[in-house]
Amino acid sequence: MSLLSLFKSKSPHGEEPGIFKGLWRRSDLVAFPMGDHSHVIHRRHGAPKVFPSFAVDFALGCVRFETLATHLDAHADHFSLNRSQVDTLQAALPALIEAGALVSEQNVRKQCAAGSPGDAARIGLIGFPTGGNRVAFVERALKSFSANAEAYGREVDFLVADSSGDPAQRDAFRASIAALRAGHKGAIFYAGDEEKRRFAKALIKESGCPPDAVEFALFDPLQTGFACGANRNALLLHEAGRAFCSVDDDVICRMAAPPKSLKAGLSLFSSCDPYSRWLFDSRESACQFADWMDADFLAAHEKLLGRGPGAFSLEALNLRQANDEILRRIEGGGSRVRATFTGHIGDPGIPTSVYYLFFDGENRRRLTETEAHYRSVFSSRSVLSVMPDHALGDASVSPGMAMGLDHRELLPPFFPVLHAEDFIYGATLWQGCRGALLGHLPLAILHEPAAGKSILLPSDLNGQRRAVVFEFAHILRRLILSFNPGAEEEAEVRLPALGRYLRDFSSLPVRDFEDALGRHVLEHESAKVFFLENELNADLDTPDFWRRDVEAYLAHVRDAVQHEDYDIPFDLKKAHPPAANRRLMRELIGRFGQLLEEWPAMVKAARSLQQRERYF
């Protein structure tokens, strides 16, 4: 008989005692030794309480919402407790609950229900960041989203934000948009270099912001070669005071529902990747698998955007992936969804399939079902990534292929240059806007870039192609999440404070900056290595071919961190030697810090300007 059975036998018919019913986890607390086999626990609100150390150890181990019986059983098995010890621990539970050391799902439901329902957003514009020889992609996207809007009786405006450096490419966009306007009910605006330069000049004058801050917000002054984030900033400034959608130019408005095996509802999550993922050996296989659906694209975003937890039915609320990050924000009150995201079907939009090695749970099981399937999908760039249900989360994931943004109140800017600006944005939004939640929709949108795009395979890594961190975005995101904002401060205060934090980091003496940067890289990689080694030890059912690939990757990382360029992200290595790249990273961090400091003034000025004149 298990200790779980012993616990359940304490009440008639195998039921848990009334106070213990439902799901429980530890609350947001810290504990400190107090001598004599005791610990003091401290929560953000209320006086500290002293408990026996064995009781505090149990509470700290309740990291997921489970029944108390399940928690007791796991704790007893882990520490080899006998029946008498379990009885003593069980007797301490009411006092732990009364002190707030444990929180129930019912408490969280009540906090959600008590929260503001928010103010549902109405979306009237879709923006497409683009640049270069992309006219055909933008035409395809515009036509598909226009057809979707017309099918559901909506009139929507479009804005094409273009970073093309070649005047001929900009002229081609203008000609294409002029032709498309004839068949579209709403307006189609265009923001190329000339239009943005005129706007930037007016913005500098209206806001009083330094010209180099405005330049970094809207252009690519450091010549990195990719400025999607700058185009998204043009959208944010154009739509200051309104809600809108930003969609990648190679997305088509064709949507798929989650597989019917996934249960619909509403979930809270934090510090995890909750998306369900399938990998395919070809685009055709992915599209055949998809459960295509007809849906109003904008209405899907409007279902969550601007709303607070109190707006939703909470009977089927799933809390099993919720931890301190999201629960702390829900408990604080006033939280609402400031950005919404879809999944995607087709190209994953990532630089390397090494990321697949980090799949866990059902995602890993599907990936490793057979070795033939496993080997065939790493280079195919064909995926279905979809949220099983509507979800409210933290900054863990923020896939930006098709996102909704509620800019009726101040939102942060995007990091203007390089790839994975959406990954940075989730962290900036979470840190910069008090009460912000990130909403995720249970649908996947079709992502179809040009054919022939390559992806870095795990087998491509070697002594000449060393990769520790794959993208600079991971470093900047880590820095942003290391900032500790004031809990009660609004975005107008938090964003400049975050900016000063980044500027201070970039202003360290050169050797101090490089040492601090190196420590962040090593801490980042150490956490990844710890995760994979723990999975190797815990998941003994996963096939050997996965285990061999993981072990080979870990060996590569252990070698790569010992080389002089260990701190240079893979996406920067081709452009410059290590010393120049460190100077570039230093300037990028400082420039983004300055942009965050000036951003509230830019947004205020943009709202004033748009009342007097249209620039795009």
In this structure, the answer to whether residues 533 and 427 fall within a common structural domain is yes
User: What pLDDT, on a 0 to 100 scale, did the predictor assign at position 263?
Assistant: 63
In this structure, the answer to whether residues 235 and 260 fall within a common structural domain is no
Give the pLDDT confidence of 311-342 residue by residue, as tens digits: 988 878 999 999 998 999 998 888 999 999 99
In this structure, the answer to whether residues 132 and 155 fall within a common structural domain is yes
Give the pLDDT confidence of 196-205 residue by residue, as tens digits: 999 999 999 9
In this structure, the answer to whether residues 91 and 130 fall within a common structural domain is no
User: What average pLDDT does this structure show over 557-584?
Assistant: 96
User: What pLDDT, on a 0 to 100 scale, did the predictor assign at position 18?
Assistant: 62
113: in domain: no
8 Å CB contact between 204 and 211: yes
**Burial environment of residue 291 by CB neighbours within 10 A (0 to 12, 13 to 18, 19 or more):** middle
In this structure, the answer to whether residues 265 and 298 fall within a common structural domain is yes
469: in domain: yes
Residue 17: pLDDT above 80?
no
Helical H segments across 371-490, by residue range: 371-377, 421-432, 472-481
User: What average pLDDT does this structure show over 488-504?
Assistant: 95
Q: Which of 252, 297, 294, 276 is CA-nearest to residue 391?
A: 276
118: in domain: no
Q: Which of 261, 533, 200 is CA-nearest to residue 388?
A: 261
8 Å CB contact between 469 and 517: no
Residue 487: pLDDT above 80?
no
In this structure, the answer to whether residues 47 and 181 fall within a common structural domain is no
Which H or E run contains 437? strand 436-447
In this structure, the answer to whether residues 128 and 85 fall within a common structural domain is no
pLDDT over 90 for what percent of the chain?
Answer: 89
In this structure, the answer to whether residues 183 and 61 fall within a common structural domain is no
Domain final residue, candidates 244, 262, 278: 244
In this structure, the answer to whether residues 468 and 495 fall within a common structural domain is yes
User: What pLDDT, on a 0 to 100 scale, did the predictor assign at position 13?
Assistant: 37
115: in domain: no
Query: In degrees rounded to 5, what are phi and psi of residue 467?
Result: -140, 120
114: in domain: no
Q: Which of 263, 258, 256 is CA-nearest to residue 293?
A: 256
361: in domain: yes
Q: Read off the CATH number of the domain in which 16 is found.
A: 3.90.930
In this structure, the answer to whether residues 275 and 313 fall within a common structural domain is yes
Domain final residue, candidates 73, 105, 137: 105
615: in domain: no
Torsion over CA of 96, 97, 98 and 99, rounded to 10 degrees? 50
Give the pLDDT confidence of 405-431 residue by residue, as tens digits: 999 999 999 999 999 999 999 999 999
pTM (2 decimals)? 0.95
Model confidence at 188, pLDDT cuts 50, 70, 90, reads very high
Range of the domain at 90: 3-105
In this structure, the answer to whether residues 184 and 284 fall within a common structural domain is no
Give the pLDDT confidence of 429-478 residue by residue, as tens digits: 999 999 999 999 999 999 999 988 889 999 999 999 999 999 999 999 99
pLDDT over 70 for what percent of the chain?
Answer: 96
**Burial environment of residue 438 by CB neighbours within 10 A (0 to 12, 13 to 18, 19 or more):** buried
In this structure, the answer to whether residues 84 and 164 fall within a common structural domain is no
CA–CA gap between residue 605 and residue 616 (Å, rounded): 16
Q: Which residues of 354-374 are buried (b: 16+ CB within 10 A; e: fewer)?
A: bebbebeeebbebbbeeeeeb
Domain final residue, candidates 227, 244, 261: 244
388: in domain: yes
Which pair of tokens denotes residue 217?
A: 């917000």
* Total domain count, the chain: 3
Residue 485: pLDDT above 80?
yes
Torsion over CA of 34, 38, 42 and 45, rounded to 10 degrees? -120
Residue 549: pLDDT above 60?
yes
CA–CA gap between residue 72 and residue 90 (Å, rounded): 8
